[in-house]
Amino acid sequence: MTAAIIYAFASAGFLGAGVVLAQLGLRTVEPLSGAAISVPCFTLLFLLLSPLILQGEPIVWRGLPIFIAIGLFFPASLTLLTFASNRALGPVITSTLGNLAPLFAVATAVVLLHEPLHAPQLLGLVVAVAGAAIITVTRPRDLGHWRSWALLLPLCSALIRGVAPPVVKLGLEVWPSALWGCLIGYITSSLVVLTVQRIRKGSFVVEAPRAGLFWFALTGISNGLSALTLFAAVRNGPITLVAPLAAIYPLVTVALSAMVLKHIEITARIVAGAALTVLGVVLVLIG
């Protein structure tokens, strides 16, 4: 369980950093092009390192279709939906509704994988999600678009982010390699986003300012490491433990936004939300 906890916290850290980096990239690049930069960038890095990191990792061909199917949605569709939601609704609503992901994850794990859910874990999950929501909702006017059709973007994103870990766990039961699973998923996702880019823009190559290329390359690496550590966490522990811990990424997003984007002030509300999130994590770990 210790490895699962460490990997889950690492996944939250990388994901929180990716949200901030994506905001920097979206200043000069549209969401679709950003996805066509970020996902293939990590895939290329992964492929270059694969001769070293995949040594001793056996291939189980029965698991290949599962991870290909996962790659069609995670991270491809998830990345497109998240970037589009950031552009349409901003990071506040995107992150707030994205906090529903662990609820979807735990519910799917209980139904699909028959994982036990103890009362302290359920309470901790609800408290952590509530704390994350308090952190991300800053002002009443930030909720001005809540009735818009665009709310489907972060809701679908949260659904995919929540359902993906239990499905990944099913794949890892067949092929117990987080490295291979993540690599195959990312190769598939790269083909998806590049195909969408080709259909929409007429070219696989993204034309963007150097700053946009740079920030989305970093975003891709950060999000990719988040996915890889999430795969590793799921490999080493139950979804009912991993999902709530990975859901604390808004803490990282707020902290980095305050330092990098300079538009978030650490207020009593944020401190209270952070305290609730930490309390929720403690309850999950105790449970």
Beta strands, E only, 37-130: none
Q: Are 246 and 8 in contact (CB under 8 A)?
A: yes
**Mean pLDDT of the region 80-108:** 78
Whether the link from the prior residue into 250 is cis, omega within 30° of 0, is no
Residue 238 has pLDDT above 90, yes or no: yes
pLDDT digits (tens, 9 = 90+) for 2-11: 999 999 999 9
State residue 142's pLDDT score.
47
Residue 151 has pLDDT above 80, yes or no: no
Does 98 or 104 have the greater pLDDT score?
A: 104
pLDDT digits (tens, 9 = 90+) for 177-225: 999 999 999 999 999 999 988 998 888 888 889 999 999 999 999 999 9
The torsion defined by the Cα of 273, 275, 279 and 284, in degrees rounded to 10, comes to 60
pLDDT digits (tens, 9 = 90+) for 60-88: 999 999 999 999 999 988 888 887 887 77
Instruction: Name the pLDDT band for 92 (thresholds 50, 70, 90).
Output: low
Backbone angles phi, psi at 27, to 5 degrees: -70, -25
pTM: 0.86
Burial class (CB in 10 A: 0-12, 13-18, 19+), 210: exposed
**Mean pLDDT of the region 52-58:** 92
Does 41 or 148 have the greater pLDDT score?
A: 41
Average pLDDT, the chain: 86
